[in-house]
Amino acid sequence: MLDGQSLQMSFNYTPGDDVRFVGDDGEIQSKIGANQDVTLNISGQDIFMETYRTVLGTMSNTINGLPISETTLFSSMDGGANISQADSIVFSGTDHNGYKIGIARVTSPENAKLDMTNATIDQRTITLTYAGKQYDIVMDKKGYDDMDEVIFNINRHVQNQGLGGEITAINDGDKIMFMTTRSGNGVELQVTGSEYNTLGFKTTTITSRGKDTTFELAYDDYRGPVQTVHDDLAISSSASGTVHTYYVNGEAINFSVVTGDTQQDIEDKINAELAAEGMGFDVYARVGTGTNSDYKVTFTLTNQNFTKDSFLATRDDSGVVGSYQYDNPRGTGFPIEDEKRVSDMLTFIENLYDNAVDASIVDGKVQVQDLRSGKSKLTFSLDEKNTGVGYPMLDPNIILTGRYSGSAPLISGQSLLLSLPMM
């Protein structure tokens, strides 16, 4: 597609689907310049509102035939809601700025600098700590044209570290913001810089944790850490390598220990095998000295939204009592706790959106209103297993318009992501 031409795309979707356009392998050659209007004709209602966007559920819930109120107990709802105290409601969506709710976000205290030609390595380095591991991001010693180039190079380093699907960096008003792609109260991201750091991060580590996205209708005291400890563990070695087989949540972890391997060597080998089994960002291992002898191996469940279904089960190959260990995030008193009211869910929603929305009940329907005026990217949905509570529905034939306000043109080969959550 060349300049002056138009493109029409059709998407088929059902409630709960995402509609995404992720690039066209260079077929679109037209550049999108700064402040150029882009119109997207996508089915959807109120994707942008000039002031105080509001999302309203479609299903009206009742108690004794009358609309529910904020004081209503979930168990008191009429049968159509299909609610039980063992149920939970999973929330998803985006806030006013289009950021996914429940994620961990870290912003630099100071603005980033474009000129890094005379900066030392320390001044060009920041350290990300994620899923129990540290990743150094070292910027090139050069001058950068603008913040877009800085962000592009940070994300390139993030990608090269294997974090591309987990963490992304964006320009937040000349400050750098790192965001996780995962939501949940077990998600944690730390960023550490240095004195006179060109990326705006200092020696004091900044830590951000995600938020719980699952509202439990009864018991809700799910928390970390979720850990299993294998203490005083003999880990044999040999010149040719002794193979050990551990199990983590049912997956076999095989690693070989050679004579002279240190605790760090063994730890690195276990974590490498966890990554090879697809659990590198879900579980990490620490190897230290045993309380009485030999080794202590600790496994930690990470990057989760802790719920009643979360657990960590590990087994070593010692064959002794205690070789099997288990842990979960359930706190004290499980499973007994006072039943929740609708007002508890509304407070949960507001906290999930950092109190930038007002959640209420209107004629028995859940309503979420953006408290910030201007163009809003607020979206909100409930897990469809709980459709009795009502979930937002989008009407067809609404035009979405937006404006690209960046300073760099979008050229062939770059990806353009248009995401419209369908709820």
Q: Does one domain contain both 71 and 128?
A: no
* pLDDT of amino acid 32: 45
Dist CA 173 CA 405 (whole Å) = 12
Q: What is the count of structural domains for the chain?
A: 3
Asked if the structure places residue 234 within a domain, the reply is: yes
CATH code: domain of residue 159: 2.60.40
Whole-angstrom distance, CA of residue 422 vs CA of residue 406: 27
Last residue of a domain, one of 301, 327, 353: 327
- 347 part of a folded domain: yes
Query: What is the pLDDT at residue 388?
Result: 53
Q: What is the mean pLDDT of each run of 10 residues along the chain (423 residues)?
A: 52 45 46 45 37 67 82 78 74 90 96 96 97 96 95 96 95 94 96 97 96 88 93 96 96 96 97 96 97 96 92 94 92 77 92 92 87 82 57 37 44 41 36
Same-domain pairing of 118 and 170: yes
pLDDT for the residue 180: 97
Q: Is residue 367 part of a domain?
A: yes
Q: Are residues 245 and 267 in the same domain?
A: yes
290 and 383 co-located in one domain: no
Q: Which domain holds residue 107?
A: 103-210
State pTM to two decimals: 0.74
Q: Are residues 85 and 175 in the same domain?
A: no
* Same-domain check for residues 352 and 288: no
How far lies 184's CA from each of 97, 209, 218, 327, in Å? 19, 8, 19, 18
Confidence at residue 81, expressed as pLDDT on a 0 to 100 scale: 61
Assess if residue 239 is contained within a domain. yes
Query: Between the CA of residue 302 and those of 3, 65, 272, 275, 314, what are the distances in Å?
Result: 47, 44, 16, 13, 14
Domain assignment of residue 5, yes or no: no
186 and 127 in a common domain = yes
291 and 206 assigned to the same domain: no
- What is residue 365's predicted lDDT score, i.e. its pLDDT? 84
Residue 414: name the closest of 4, 23, 9, 110 by CA: 23
Quick check: is 184 in a domain? yes
Look at residue 32 and tell me if it is in a domain: no
Q: Distance (Å, rounded) from C-alpha 323 to C-alpha 292?
A: 16
Does 218 reside within a domain? no
Same structural domain, 315 and 290: yes
Which residues are registered as beta bridge partners of 381?
92
Check whether residue 203 and residue 277 sit in a common domain.
no
Regarding whether 138 and 199 lie in a shared domain, the answer is yes
Last residue of a domain, one of 306, 327, 348: 327
* Last residue in a domain, options 327, 351, 367: 327
Per-residue pLDDT at 423? 34
What is the per-residue pLDDT for 13?
44
What pLDDT is stored for residue 73 in this prediction? 86
The answer on 119 and 63 residing in a single domain is no
Q: What pLDDT is recorded for position 240? A: 97
